[in-house]
Structure 1
C-alpha cells in the first residue's frame, strides 16, 4: 500500500525534529549540569520527542489494526534502556536521565497524565448501558475478575522472594498483582468494537458494559490496595476506615455529588464569558475529588475516575467541550504518559532465561484466567458458545489500564522494575493479540432480526433532528399559549432526555379566552408532560426532566439573545401575542426569533388548547413532502405523539400551491413520488412504534388541502415544517401565513 506524499513529508519533518533533538540534547544537558540545575530546554525536548515518536508509531499501529496507545508505549520502549539505551547508552542517558530533578519534571507530567486519563475513562463510562445490560454484564465481570485475580494472587504468594521489592509486603504485592491481571481496558475494547461496527450490537454492548464494570470495580479495589500499601501493612482499623470511606465517597458522589457537579458545570457555562471555562471547572472538580480520596486513605486515581463519571453525566456538557478536553488528553497527556511508561520498562532483563520464562507464564496465566473467567460468566449469563467466545476474546485486552496500574505500583514501591517490566510486557502482548482474535470471533456472529430492527431505528435517530438536540431554550409567558408550548417542550424532552431552560418572558398575555383555574409554574408543566409521556418502566429508568427557570431581566428579545449565548440547539416560542391583527406573526415573535441563531419552533394554541393547554391527548396532522423541513416537523410531531392514543395523520398534497412562493415549502423541486414520500414517513414512524394514517389530496392548493383535512379528521394540532424567508419580519411562506390566518386548529411551525 503506497503512502501519500503528505504523510511522507510530515513523517520526514517530524523525524528531522527528532534528529535535531538527539544532536542538541546532550550538549544542552551538559551545560546545565555544570550549574547543577535541571534544564527547561531539555524538558521541552523530551516532551517534543515523546510526542513525535508516539504519534508516528501510534499512526503506524492504527494502520495495521492495533490500538494507537501501543505505538506510544512502543515509542517509549525504543527511546528507553531497552533499545536506545542498549545501542547508544550515553545519548539515551543524556536525553532521559534516570535520576535527579530532570527526571522529576517529566514524571510530574506523567503523574498528571494518569489523573487525566482516568478522568477521560470515567467520562466514557455509560451508566445507562450498564443498567441495560446489568445482569449479564455483572455475571461476566465478576467471573472475569475473580478467576484471574485468584491466579495473580496465588502467583504473588508463591513468587520467589528475590523478585519481591519488599518481602515483608508480599501480601500487598500479591493483591496488587492479582488486580493487575484481572482488569480489562475499556478503551481498547471499545475501540475495536467501534471499528467492527459492533458498538450497538447486543454482544458488543455486553462486552463494553462488562469492561466498564471491570474498570469500575478494579479502580475501587486498586484505590483500597494502594491505601494499604502506603501504610505498609494490613491493619484492621485502617482497612475498615478505607473501605467505609470509599463506600461513603461513592454513595455521596453518585447522589449529591452528581447534582453538585452538574450545577457547577451549568453555572460556569452560563455565567462566564471567557474562553472554555467549563474545561477549567472539570479539571478543578477532578483535582478536588482526587484530594478527597487521598484524604480518606485511598489513592487519588479513584477520585479522578469518579469525577470523570460525574462529569460525563452532566446534561449540558456540549459535544465541543468533550472534544476539546478529549483532544488535550489524547494529543498531549496520553503519548507522554505511555511514552514515560515505555521509558521505565527495561526489556533487557528478559535476557535472563528464567525471567523470560516467568513472563511467558505470566502472559499465559493472565490470558487463560481472564479468558476462562469471562467465558464462564458468559455461559452463566445464557450466551451461546460463539457469543461467550467473542466476549472472552474482548475481555482479554489490558492495554492502558494495566500500564497505569503498573506505573502506580512502581511509584509507591509495591512493584520493582523487574515486576513492572513483566506486567507491561504482559499488557503489551495480550493487547496486541486481542484485536485480531476479537475481529475473527465477531465476524462469526450473525445478526438477529431483533437486532436488525433496533439498529435500523438507532441509525435513523443518529441522523435525525430531535436526536441531536442537546439543550432547548423555551421562551414563554404564562398565557395559555405559553402553557401549551411548555407542555410540548416536556413531550420533546421525554422523547430524548435533554435539559430545558424556561425563560419566562412576561406576565399572562391570553391568546383568546384565558385558561380556567390557576396557572401552575411553567417548570411544573414541562416536568408533568415529560412524566406523562413515559411508560412506568421508562419513568423508573430515566432521570427526571432537567428543567431550569430563569426570570426575564431585560427586554424579551434581549433576554433571549443573552441566554442563547450560553449554547442552545433550539428555541421554542410560546407567547400570548403570536399573531398580528393585520396578519402574519406579531412583532414580539419576530423580535424573539431574530434574537436566536438556530432552529425555531413557534407555537400557536387555538380552540381546545386555549381552554385546556395542558390536555394530554392531541390529534396531530403532519403535512409531508419529502423535504428536510417536513422530515424535521415529522420528528417533532412523533415526539409530541408519544403519550397520545390517536395516530398521527400524514398528509401528502399532490397539486400546485395557491401562491408561487409556496413552492419553496412543498415544492416542485421535490423528486419523490407521493408513494415514496409517504412510505418514508410511515417507515420513520414505525421505527418509533407510532401509529400513522396516510391521506393524499390531489389537485388542491396546499393550504386548502390542509384546511380541508383538519375539518375532516378533526385534528386539533398541525405540525408544519417551514423555512424562514428574509422579508424584514418573521415569514414562513404563504402556506404558513394562510394557516396562521384561518386555521381552527393549534399550529406548530418547525423552522430550520
Structure 2
C-alpha cells in the first residue's frame, strides 16, 4: 500500500493550522483538529479525503499518544491521591455515567451502547486541565491539585471499563463470558507482573544505553503490550497506556524518561495523532444536529450537569464547601482526546452508531469549550469570597551536594525540621556523615540515579556546595530540569572562583547564592575539624521600627529558625524580625 503524500500533506497542514488557531484562543489543539476534519472533510466541504494508509498512521498515532498519557501518570500517585481527588473523580465519573446511560437506553439505544456512552461522558481530559491551569496561574492552588488527581483517576477508571466493554462486545471464543473475563484478568495480571518485576530488572542496562538506545526498546514494549491487549480481546490503546505507566524513571532513568517523553510527544501529538483527530472528524454526520437535536442537547446537558453536580456532591465530605466542589466540577467538564479515541473505537467495533458517534464528538467539543469560561468565572468567585486556597508545599527536605565538615554541620542544623541527605563521591565523607546521624549517599550527583536514591523527586532544596562552580552548575541544572526541585542554592567561594563564574553558574540554573555571600569552604572546614568553630544562635539585627539590617548580618550565618522550621538562607532571603539566626562562630 503506497503512502498518499498529497492527502497526508493536506491533512497535516490543516491540522497544524487549525490546532494553532484553537490554542491561540485558549483551547486544546485537538478541538481545532476535529473541526478541521469536520469543516474541510466529507461532513461539510469535502476538500480532504481519507485513505487506508492514513488510517494506519492514525492508529499508530493513538498508540503513541496513549503511551505518552501513560508515561505522564505515576501509578504511585494514584495510590497517594488525596481524599478530595478520589471523591471528585468518583462523583465526576459515576454521576454523568449513570445519567448518560439512562438517556441512551431511554432513547432506544442498547444496553451496551448506553454503557459506552456513559463511560465516554465520565471521561475527563488531563491534558486540557494542565494547559488551562497554567494559563490561569492556578497550579499552586488546592483545586488544581484535586483536579489533576481526579483527572488521573477518572481517565484510568474509564480505560479499565473500556477494556471490559470491548472484550464483552466482541467475544472471539463462542461468546463465553467467563473466558473473556479470564483473558482480561490474565492480561492485567501479566502486564502488572512484567511492569513491576521484569522491566525493573533491566533498569541498570537501560539507563546505561542512553536515549537513542532506549527508544527502540520503548517502542518494542509498546507494541508487545498493545498486542497482548488485542489478544485479550481489548484494544491496543489499553496496552499502550499501561506500557507508558511502567516505562518510568525507575526503569529508564529521569533524563532518558524526559527525553523519550519529548520524542513521543513530538511524534504523536505533533505528527501522527493529528492525523487521527482530523480523520475522526471525517466520520461525523452533521445531520445529527438537525435530525437528533434534542438527543444532542440532552446528552451534552446531562454530561455537563452530571459532571459538575456529581463532583460537587461527592466532594462535600471533604469539608471544603459546595462552592469549591462546583468549581472543580466545571474545571473537570472537558473531555478531549481520550473520549474521541474511545468513541472512534466504539464506532469501528459496531458498539455505537454513527449518529451516537457524532453526538459524542459534539459533546467533546461543547464540554471542552465550557471549561476555560466556567473555570475562570468560578475562580474569580472563590477569590472574591476569599475561598481560593493555596495548596501546601508537597515537597520537603534538602539534598546537600558534598559531605565536607561544613556541609555535615549544615545538615545537622537543617535536620532539626526537615529530612536531609548528603551526596559525596568520597567514602570517608559519607561515613563521617552517617556517624553524625545523617543520611548519606555515595556517588556522583551528576548521575540522576544518585539523585533519585537521595530523594530528589520529593526534595524542596538542593544545596550545591562542592566549591566547584562547573559541577555545582551542572548538578543544579539537573535538579531543576529533571527533578523540578524549586529551590537551588549554589556556594560562592571567592578563594576558589571568580564572581563572574559564579554569577554565570547561578543564572544557568536560575538559582541563588548560598548563605550571605562568599563562604570560604576550606577555611571553615579546617576550623570545624579543629573544633574552633561552634554553632550559636542570635537575634536578627533590626532598627527600632523593626526593619532588618541586612548589612549587619554575621558572616558565618548558616540558616534561620522560624517557628518550628529551620530554613537554609541565600543572598535574597527575606528575614523576619522574629527569626532566630543560626551562626557558625569562631
In the superposition, the TM-score normalised over structure 1's length comes to 0.57
* 1:689 maps to 2:565: yes
CA apart distance, 1:234: 6.7
* CA separation of 1:138 and 1:597: change in aligned 2, threshold 3 A: closer
Q: What is the match of residue 186 of structure 2?
A: 245
Q: What is the match of residue 235 of structure 2?
A: 299
1:404 to 327, 341, 362: 341
* CA separation of 1:692 and 1:256: change in aligned 2, threshold 3 A: closer
2:314 to 349, 353, 377: 377
Give 1:91-102 correspondences, 5 Å limit: 92=47, 96-97=49-50
Q: For the residues of structure 2 that align with 1:391 and 1:329, how far apart are their CA atoms?
A: 29
* CA separation of 1:411 and 1:633: change in aligned 2, threshold 3 A: same
2:205 to 239, 253, 267: 267
CA contact (8 A) 1:475 1:571 kept: no
Q: What is the match of residue 104 of structure 2?
A: 156
Highest RCO, 1 vs 2 (Cα 8 Å, sep ≥ 6):
2
SS in 2 for 1:121: helix
CA apart distance, 1:416: 2.4
CA contact (8 A) 1:123 1:309 kept: yes
Q: What is the match of residue 551 of structure 1?
A: none
* CA separation of 1:481 and 1:144: change in aligned 2, threshold 3 A: closer
Give the superposed CA RMSD. 4.7
Q: What is the match of residue 130 of structure 2?
A: 190
CA apart distance, 1:255: 2.8
CA apart distance, 1:648: 7.5
Q: What is the match of residue 611 of structure 1?
A: none
CA contact (8 A) 2:123 2:335 kept: yes
1:674 to 551, 555, 558: 551
Cα deviation, 1:273-313, whole Å, max 9, x if unaligned, reads xx722222222221111122223332222111111122244
Q: For the residues of structure 1 that align with 2:345 and 2:336, how far apart are their CA atoms?
A: 15
* 1:500 maps to 2:441: no
* 1:70 maps to 2:31: yes
* 1:392 maps to 2:268: no
* 1:451 maps to 2:390: yes
Q: What is the match of residue 342 of structure 1?
A: 281
* CA separation of 1:680 and 1:450: change in aligned 2, threshold 3 A: farther
Q: For the residues of structure 2 that align with 1:209 and 1:689, how far apart are their CA atoms?
A: 29
Q: For the residues of structure 1 that align with 2:150 and 2:277, how far apart are their CA atoms?
A: 24
Q: What is the match of residue 328 of structure 1?
A: 267
Give 1:715-726 correspondences, 5 Å limit: none
Q: What is the match of residue 88 of structure 2?
A: 140
Q: What is the match of residue 61 of structure 1?
A: 22
CA apart distance, 1:207: 0.7
Q: What is the match of residue 309 of structure 1?
A: 245
> What is the count of residue pairs matched by the alignment?
494
* CA separation of 1:367 and 1:250: change in aligned 2, threshold 3 A: farther
Q: For the residues of structure 2 that align with 1:411 and 1:71, how far apart are their CA atoms?
A: 23
In the superposition, the TM-score normalised over structure 2's length comes to 0.71
SS in 1 for 2:14: helix
| Structure 1, unpaired ranges of 5+ | 1-37, 86-91, 98-102, 165-169, 466-471, 503-525, 535-540, 544-568, 574-584, 602-621, 638-645, 652-671, 695-708, 714-752
Give 1:102-117 correspondences, 5 Å limit: 103-117=51-65
* CA separation of 1:106 and 1:76: change in aligned 2, threshold 3 A: same
Cα deviation, 1:1-25, whole Å, max 9, x if unaligned, reads xxxxxxxxxxxxxxxxxxxxxxxxx
Q: For the residues of structure 2 that align with 1:234 and 1:632, how far apart are their CA atoms?
A: 68
Q: For the residues of structure 2 that align with 1:83 and 1:678, how far apart are their CA atoms?
A: 74
* CA separation of 1:380 and 1:452: change in aligned 2, threshold 3 A: closer
Cα deviation, 1:502-555, whole Å, max 9, x if unaligned, reads 9xxxxxxxxxxxxxxxxxxxxxxx97xx69xx9xxxxxx989xxxxxxxxxxxx
Cα deviation, 1:566-610, whole Å, max 9, x if unaligned, reads xxx99999xxxxxxxxxxx9xxxx9xx99x896479xxxxxxxxx
CA apart distance, 1:244: 2.6
| Structure 2, unpaired ranges of 5+ | 403-420, 477-490, 520-532, 539-548, 571-582
CA contact (8 A) 1:292 1:303 kept: yes
2:362 to 410, 417, 425: 425
* CA separation of 1:356 and 1:475: change in aligned 2, threshold 3 A: same
Of structures 1 and 2, the larger Rg is shown by 1
Q: For the residues of structure 2 that align with 1:317 and 1:692, how far apart are their CA atoms?
A: 26
CA contact (8 A) 1:123 1:308 kept: yes
Q: What is the match of residue 669 of structure 1?
A: none
Q: For the residues of structure 1 that align with 2:136 and 2:534, how far apart are their CA atoms?
A: 38
CA apart distance, 1:231: 1.1
CA apart distance, 1:51: 1.8
Q: For the residues of structure 1 that align with 2:273 and 2:554, how far apart are their CA atoms?
A: 49
* CA separation of 1:199 and 1:132: change in aligned 2, threshold 3 A: farther
CA contact (8 A) 2:463 2:514 kept: no
Cα deviation, 1:187-225, whole Å, max 9, x if unaligned, reads 112221122121231111101100110001110110111
Q: For the residues of structure 2 that align with 1:408 and 1:687, how far apart are their CA atoms?
A: 57
Cα deviation, 1:88-143, whole Å, max 9, x if unaligned, reads xxxx4xx515xxxxx22111111111111111111222445544443221112122
Q: For the residues of structure 1 that align with 2:442 and 2:381, how far apart are their CA atoms?
A: 39
Q: What is the match of residue 256 of structure 1?
A: 197
* CA separation of 1:254 and 1:675: change in aligned 2, threshold 3 A: farther
SS in 2 for 1:433: helix
Q: For the residues of structure 2 that align with 1:493 and 1:189, how far apart are their CA atoms?
A: 40
Q: For the residues of structure 1 that align with 2:388 and 2:120, how far apart are their CA atoms?
A: 39
Q: For the residues of structure 1 that align with 2:9 and 2:535, how far apart are their CA atoms?
A: 60
CA contact (8 A) 2:253 2:449 kept: no
Q: For the residues of structure 1 that align with 2:351 and 2:281, how far apart are their CA atoms?
A: 18
CA contact (8 A) 1:223 1:300 kept: no
Give 1:31-70 correspondences, 5 Å limit: 40=3, 43-70=4-31
CA contact (8 A) 1:475 1:572 kept: no
CA contact (8 A) 1:647 1:692 kept: no
CA contact (8 A) 1:138 1:213 kept: yes
Cα deviation, 1:301-356, whole Å, max 9, x if unaligned, reads 2111111122244462323443232222221023212111112212134332xx12
Q: For the residues of structure 2 that align with 1:487 and 1:250, how far apart are their CA atoms?
A: 43
Q: For the residues of structure 1 that align with 2:69 and 2:435, how far apart are their CA atoms?
A: 37
Q: For the residues of structure 2 that align with 1:294 and 1:152, how far apart are their CA atoms?
A: 28
CA contact (8 A) 1:186 1:208 kept: yes
Q: For the residues of structure 2 that align with 1:686 and 1:227, how far apart are their CA atoms?
A: 59
Greater displacement, 313-322 / 408-417: 313-322
* CA separation of 1:176 and 1:687: change in aligned 2, threshold 3 A: farther
Q: For the residues of structure 1 that align with 2:261 and 2:206, how far apart are their CA atoms?
A: 15
SS in 2 for 1:690: strand
Q: What is the match of residue 217 of structure 2?
A: 281
* CA separation of 1:648 and 1:323: change in aligned 2, threshold 3 A: farther
